[in-house]
Amino acid sequence: MSGGRKMVQKRRFMDDFYFLEDERVRQFLIVGKEEALLIDTGFEDSHVYDVVRSITELPVRVLMTHGDRDHAGGLKDFGACQIHKGDWNLIPEGIHTEPLREGDIFHCGSYTLEVVEIPGHTYGSVAFVEWEKKLLLPGDSVQKDGPIYMFGEHRNLDRYIESLKKLQGLADRVETVLPCHHDCPITPDYIGKNLQDAEAMKNGMLSGKKHPHLPCATYHGRWTEFYYTDYVSE
């Protein structure tokens, strides 16, 4: 979630499905026949809107995995989004918001996305699943290596662990996981790896070291690094 402007690059992943990434955060664009779906909008200085318009002139429906500023910063260029109500307080003023709920379905071209609520990383975090193509878009909740941010008032470790258990129950129905940070794509086994490390952190099995700049500690699990509030050592 660090700043420092980078040029957003577009990368075609599948038919009519693009990664938009700038080494800090990743967005996803699906282009249909009548509209496009954009998953997240990047930092304000990412200028994702310009990259989207270099790909399609279709109307764009913006769906949000969650409301952190590295995902919602570009909303001013789109003016509206759909996001879980748990994160409405994170969205900049002046943006028209509509709710996302468990089980909501979005069709775009040959893709069908279903919303799965996964609170914890933020209270309004959601994932999107494309069942036929066996794709999981988990926002920031599943990553290879991390760091996964788990400090601040709008995060909850217990709910995060429960959400990872929920996703683990779906893991045998997906083949490809598309995180918003770090390596992408990754395999579904990272759901279980993140879960094991999160549980180890909760149970006091990992030692925290005070972060040099952020108001948190760093915890290194076997597979995952977390930034979390409750550190136990300097």
What pLDDT, on a 0 to 100 scale, did the predictor assign at position 229? Answer: 86
Is residue 53 helix, strand or coil?
helix
Tell me which residue of 73, 120, 118, 81 sits closest to 98, measured CA to CA: 81
- pLDDT (tens digit, 9 = 90+) per residue, 60-73? 999 999 999 999 99
- CB-CB neighbours of 178 under 10 Å: 23
Tell me which residue of 59, 43, 35, 37 sits closest to 8, measured CA to CA: 43
Q: What share of the chain is helix, strand, coil (3-state, %, to 5)?
A: 25, 30, 45
- Please count the CA atoms within 13 angstroms of the CA of 88 that sit on its side-chain side: 11
Residue 167: which domain range? 9-228
Tokens of 114: 């279903």
Specify the residue for token string 């040959």: 110
Structural domains in the chain (count): 1
- Asked if the structure places residue 200 within a domain, the reply is yes
Tokens of 226: 């977390």
Strands (E), 158-205: 176-177
Is residue 114 helix, strand or coil?
strand
Distance CA 44, CA 150 (A): 22
Is residue 231 helix, strand or coil?
coil
- Asked if the structure places residue 29 within a domain, the reply is yes
What pLDDT, on a 0 to 100 scale, did the predictor assign at position 231? Answer: 46
CATH of the domain at 159: 3.60.15.10
- Asked if the structure places residue 233 within a domain, the reply is no
Start-end of H helices in 39-180: 48-55, 69-72, 157-168
- pLDDT (tens digit, 9 = 90+) per residue, 186-215? 999 999 999 999 999 999 999 999 999 999
Contact 90, 76 (CB under 8 A): no
What is the arrangement of strands in the sheet containing 60-63, beginning at the earlier edge strand? 9-14, 17-21, 26-31, 36-39, 60-63, 80-83, 96-99
Average pLDDT value for residue range 129-150: 98
Indicate whether 233 pLDDT > 60: no
Indicate whether 4 pLDDT > 70: no
User: Quick one: pLDDT band at residue 162, thresholds 50, 70, 90?
Assistant: very high
Q: φ, ψ for residue 159 (rounded to 5)?
A: -70, -35
Tokens of 165: 């258990």
- Asked if the structure places residue 72 within a domain, the reply is yes
Indicate whether 104 pLDDT > 90: yes
Mean per-residue pLDDT over the chain, rounded: 95
- Please count the CA atoms within 13 angstroms of the CA of 111 that sit on its side-chain side: 27
